[in-house]
Amino acid sequence: MNDIFKNYEKTITKKHSVNFTPRYKEEFGTSVNNTLFVGIAEKAVEKLGWDLVYKDEKNIEAKRKEKSLGIERWTEAITASYENGKVVVKSESLGNEIWDVGRNSKRVKLFIYAFDETLKTFDTNSLNELEKEVAKKNNWDDYIIPETLPQPEHVKSPNIAIPIIGGLIISVILGLLLAFISLKGIYIIFLFEFLVATVIAFAMKHLIKLSNFTDFYKLQYLLVVMIIVIYILNQYFQYEIILNESNYERIGFWEFLKLRFSQGLTVKNLNTGWIGLVISWILQLGLTGLFVYLKIISILTRYAIERVPVDVVDFAYYHFVKGKTEEEVRYELAKKGWTDKINQDEVFEAIGGFQNATELNRIK
């Protein structure tokens, strides 16, 4: 951050916000149009040292990063939206605090000050030049079509059988491990769901690469089945381990579940009954599913982006910006050596991957 902004920040009178998600917003007027607003706001964000995560014709979003205990994390999300000469600036806390100690008001007032100071550095001529520059950037007018593109690598057809077989094997292993852990009485809710999700995601990452299968909707169904199988097998393996270690008379698995229901769930000498047991199972399924969902989106996004050269993605995206249809873009790719439909589909998935990455960065 420039010194002028650091000095101004020290003079800001903070306004505190207390809420489950503390936030603060202010509105100010400007004489510039929406194109200039976005261009100047982007320069202001850069001067403040914030991370730009999104922009469009009338909006800009940034996140402020802070280092604590050697770990960098985003602490506030700042958005500025333009409409008919009025700009609404909002800052929202990204941590778990319910009291922001005035930090959000500081970010909003600091952005407004930085915007005004940046605007003062432009005269009429330079504003006209900035408007042309932003318009050209948005329309990719400066893009130079390359004579050649990196050639595609040979890839095999997507094969869903590999994720299915690998996923079921992982489910059996995790079900067995959870059974041993649960019987030892060291199961910690939230932590173990997160660990199970991490193992599933790690395994699926390699299975996706091995199979080249990236259909997210079909993978979702597979992941749901895996999670259900894991926790059913957890109960079944507990049943087998208890019978084998204690030499009890063998009863059916369904009778074992009935006993579990009758005994309920005991938490620190408090028996919550069958309701507590059912709630714990729902939490296990729900939390694991949520953690896996977020991780798989990230894995698929990264894989889609990494397997296609950036030059090829830019080439295809340029033609989309210029209004060409999917078939016309396929034709342009084919002229540069990308003739195989699978390779072309990977280019389109990479474009979607970059868009997904932007949306993931915008999550608050």
Same domain, 284 and 217: yes
Residues 95 and 189 in one domain: no
- The pLDDT > 90 percentage for the chain reads 60
Q: Which residues contact 296 (CB under 8 A, 6 or more apart)?
A: 201, 204, 216, 219, 223
Give residue-wise pLDDT tens across range 226-244.
999 999 999 899 888 888 8
| pLDDT above 80: residue 69 | no
Please tell me whether residues 301 and 249 are part of one structural domain: yes
Give the whole-angstrom CA distance, residue 212 versus residue 7: 53
Q: Which two tokens stand for residue 96?
A: 């778990």
pLDDT value of position 229: 95
Residue 337 lies in a domain: no
**What does the mean pLDDT of the chain come to?**
89
Which amino acid belongs to residue 278? Answer: V
pLDDT over threshold 80, residue 73:
yes
Residue 94 near residue 63 (C-beta atoms within 8 A): yes
Q: What pairs with residue 23 in β-bridges?
A: 92
Packed helices 326-335 and 341-362: angle between N→C axes, nearest 10 degrees: 120
Does residue 199 sit in the same domain as residue 269? yes
| Residue 214 maps to a domain | yes
325-362 CB burial, b ≥16 within 10 A, e <16: eeeebbeebeebebeeeebbebbbbbbbbeebbeeeee
- How sure is the predictor about 268, in pLDDT bands with cuts at 50, 70 and 90? low
Label residue 273 by pLDDT band (50, 70, 90).
Answer: confident
Look at residue 113 in the predicted model and tell me its pLDDT. 94
Q: 167 and 274: one domain?
A: yes
- Confidence at residue 279, expressed as pLDDT on a 0 to 100 scale: 83
Q: Of 235, 283, 282, 229, whose CA–CA distance to 260 is shortest?
A: 235
The Cα-based distances of 270 to 40, 254, 263 in angstroms read: 60, 25, 12
Phi and psi at 11, nearest 5°, equal: -95, -5
- Whether 261 is covered by a domain: the verdict is yes
**Closest to 357 measured CA to CA, from 291, 302, 294, 293:** 302
Strand ranges of the sheet holding 23-29, from the earlier edge strand across to the other edge: 23-29, 86-93, 71-83, 59-68, 51-55
Structural tokens at position 144: 């130079």
- Alpha carbon distance 290, 113 (integer Å): 40
Q: Is residue 145 part of a domain?
A: no
Q: What is the mean pLDDT of residues 11-29?
A: 91
Q: Which domain holds residue 27?
A: 3-127
The answer, yes or no, to whether residue 109 has pLDDT greater than 90, is: yes
Q: Residues 6 or more apart from 160 whose CB is under 8 A from it?
A: 211, 213, 215, 218, 222
Residue 7 falls within a domain, yes or no? yes
Q: Is residue 284 domain-resident?
A: yes
Residue 101's identity, in one-letter code, is V
Tell whether 52 and 174 lie within a shared domain: no
Mean pLDDT of 146-157: 87
State whether 184 and 106 are in the same domain. Answer: no
89 and 8: one domain? yes
Residue 271 pLDDT class (50, 70, 90 cuts): low
Secondary structure class of 270 (helix, strand, coil): strand
Same domain, 286 and 167: yes
Q: Which residues contact 220 (CB under 8 A, 6 or more apart)?
A: 293
Read off the amino acid at residue 266: T
Residues 121 and 185 placed together within one structural domain of the fold? no
Does residue 324 belong to any structural domain of this protein? Answer: no
Per-residue DSSP letter, 102: T
Structure tokens of 200?
A: 């599933």
The band of 261, judged by pLDDT with boundaries at 50, 70 and 90, is confident
Please count the structural domains in the chain: 2
The band of 187, judged by pLDDT with boundaries at 50, 70 and 90, is low
Lowest mean pLDDT among 107-116, 210-219, 260-269: 260-269
pLDDT of residue 275: 81
Please report the pLDDT score of residue 267 as a whole number: 64
For the residues 334-338, what does the mean pLDDT come to?
Answer: 94
Residues 241 and 296 in one domain: yes
47 Cβ neighbours under 8 A, 6+ residues apart:
1, 2, 5, 114, 118
Tell me if 13 is assigned to some domain.
yes
CATH of the domain at 76: 3.30.310.80
Of 307, 328, 348, the position where a domain reaches its end is 307
Nearest CA-CA partner of 232 in 191, 288, 150, 311: 288
- State whether 106 and 173 are in the same domain: no
Size (the chain), residues: 364
Listed residues 77, 102, 127: the one ending a domain: 127
Helix (H, G, I), strand (E, B) or coil at 86: strand
